[in-house]
Amino acid sequence: MNSKKNIIKKYQKLITIINRHNLLYHTYDSPEITDKEYDQFYSELKQIEKEYPNQIDSNSPTQRVGSLLLDQFDKIKHDTPMLSLSNASNESEFSEYYKKTNITLNRDNTVLFAEPKFDGLAISLLYINGNLSKAITRGDGLIGEDVTQNVRTIKSLPLTITDKNVPKKFTLRGEVFIDKKDFNKINNILIKENEKTYSNPRNLASGSIRQLDPNIAASRNLKIFIHGVANYNQFDGIIEHDKLMRFLSDLGFPVNKYSKLTTNLKSTLRYFNDMNAMREDIPYEIDGLVFRVNDLSKYPLLGATSKAPKWAIAYKFRAQEALTKINDVTYQVGRTGTITPVAELETVNIAGVNVSRATLHNFSEIKSKDIHINDYVYVKRAGDVIPDIDRVELKKRKNIKKIKVPKECPSCKSILFKVENQIAYKCLNSKKCKPQIEQSIIHFISRKAMNIVGIGNQTIIELIKKNIISKTSDLYNLKKSDFEKLDRVGEKSIYNYLKSIEKSKNVTFNKFIYALGIKEVGDASAKSLAQSFSNIEELLACSNSDLQKTSDIGPIVAENIINYLNDRDNRDNILKLISYGISITYTKQTSNNKTIVITGQFDNYSREEITDKISMLGYKVTSSISKKTNLLVCGSKPGSKKKKADDLGIEIIYEDELSKLLSEVH
């Protein structure tokens, strides 16, 4: 008995030691032990937890990533509303705010606390008795989502506070973000996997926090800065914001090092300009500065509107831009033949990136912005990512040439067609226009379609350029000798390419339909078609009226499908795909019309696999329990859905019974 007590005592001591060193490493960037020593402590902790699983403490470093997959995020009301901030977009607007604040406070100069405006996801953190209890997104300011499990994965955030001077209950406000290095690293991985990339770090941080699997959130290396409290009265004796931030920093909370007190308008504007000049040297994205009155006791006097406090304001940077010249305009051809004008620029450096091209989107935008060849234009990185022309510098205008709508396709020279009731121009020569062929095959191999892993876009483009393939069915006739004709492709890569192509031959009906790339037939429409038609032969023989009986298929999409299927080359290509060994798993036609919900974890299946297979049996899978739910598929560690199903008397099956159900899928 004493031995067990000693082990538990040692266990708690290890938690304290490891949490302290996590704090030193992730928050203060001042490690005191080597990685090897840290790993030894961590291994000891895991060994004790393995031997005494009932003693596992929720604040153990091993518990930062929970094993429980979430069904959904619960909605929680904020104790104190999370208001947005008013914005100042230029010096005049900010100066006006500062003047009004001085008048309200009857001061000549108000001391402001300034810090970067982080481009991330706003979060509210509730601590009870020193332990992180809830992490809630802003939501609409009154009600947010409970993302506690994912926020617990942030290594720099203390999960427990032992200082006796903290209130029993307090709420912090912060911003979850991802730094530039990790953002680029994740996007590069997605590019290699032919996946859609994130447009900016904010979207990646937001998407990571909203992952139902905390392990995914943990893999993203999220970070956080604390910038305030929900109610400053919770911290007795602290009436200045800079002192409050210093106190929180001493407790181990990550507080931004660039924060600063400014004593008058001149020093405030100087700090703004200094930060704007150095923003690219900061390892994470900032889009401005937040200035707040440092004297917390004046907040009631300053008050708030229904949307924003009057004791703080966000002064935003202008999008990073540069002036350059449009030398020419070229045209890109998309997968469906749509023509996009592109400005060819004199190369200019914007925030460390050399930009030589910028999208002009469409011909309507060219007209509305009055853009011409030889114009000098301000180019910005929209969302600080995509090069975009903001406006023309008219003072430098001379020798301009009008941008004309091309009459023929820049690739295949076919006559362009103007889409009725739209501003788009299209090339209709889809079978011989190389950019359209490239994009259609790239779409075909993508993850949501045939999922041919490892073959990148450039490989497809080179195969087409060297006339090795010209349609999707050609992929399944490729040999080792074909890949050997490509530049810089080794034996191992060729082996992997052929293996991936072979593996992709087994495909569900909905993914096969989606892979065909029929105009306006997306993922949802493909699933509806797969449930409505028994097999590919039935789909090939369908009529327009048959299609319109399918949910998600209206008259325009139905006409697109009929036009595609009635094209002899398209039909021949589909039949060749089947003859080359494509094996389609069909959705089971059923009249039971059952609605199924899935909850918990499963040993032998992923959630996506269960959803796909149940859908193939003809059942409808939904995300929430209601009186209309017929069946709950329940794994281990279920959430609240099991209790709700019990209360409503809904039938529940477990993994052994699920295996029998899914065995019907062939």
Give catalytic residue positions: 117
- Give SS3 for 223: strand
Picking from 204, 99, 208, the residue whose alpha carbon sits closest to that of residue 149 is 208
- Give SS3 for 642: helix
Q: Which residues of 206-219 are buried (b: 16+ CB within 10 A; e: fewer)?
A: bebbebebbeebbe
CA distance 157 to 134: 13
Sign for the pseudo-dihedral over CA of 578, 582, 583, 587: negative
Quote the tokens at residue 469.
């393939």
CA distance 247 to 475: 63
- Token pair 């609605």 in the structure block, residue: 595
Quote the tokens at residue 154.
């942030």
CA distance 15 to 576: 62
- Give the per-residue SS3 of 7-50: HHHHHHHHHHHHHHHHHHHHCCCCCCCCHHHHHHHHHHHHHHHH
Cα distances (Å, whole numbers) of residue 45 to 10, 53, 472: 9, 11, 53
CA distance 309 to 120: 20
Task: Compute CA 586 distance to the chain's CA centroid, rounded to the nearest angstrom.
Answer: 31
Q: Check residue 406 and report its DSSP letter.
A: P
Residue 104 backbone dihedrals phi, psi, to 5 degrees? -60, -40
Task: Compute CA 482 distance to the chain's CA centroid, rounded to the nearest angstrom.
Answer: 37
Report which residue type is found at 395.
K
Q: Check residue 97 and report its DSSP letter.
A: H
Contact 644, 628 (CB under 8 A): no
Quote the tokens at residue 304.
């708030």
Cα distances (Å, whole numbers) of residue 278 to 236, 273, 274, 287: 37, 9, 6, 12
Contact 615, 596 (CB under 8 A): no
- Token pair 């991985």 in the structure block, residue: 189
The alpha helices in 390-474, defined as continuous H runs, are: 434-445, 457-465
Quote the tokens at residue 319.
């999008």
- The radius of gyration of the chain's CA atoms, rounded to the nearest angstrom, is 30
- Give SS3 for 534: coil
CA distance 569 to 574: 9
**Orientation angle between helical segments 91-105 and 265-278, nearest 10 degrees:** 140
Reduced DSSP (H G I as helix, E B as strand, rest coil) percent helix, strand, coil of the chain, to 5: 40, 20, 40
End-to-end CA distance of the chain: 55
Counted residue by residue, the chain has a size of: 666
> Which residues does residue 77 pair with via DSSP β-bridges, in sequence order?
143
> Which residues does residue 160 pair with via DSSP β-bridges, in sequence order?
131
Task: Compute CA 634 distance to the chain's CA centroid, rounded to the nearest angstrom.
Answer: 28
- Give SS3 for 101: helix
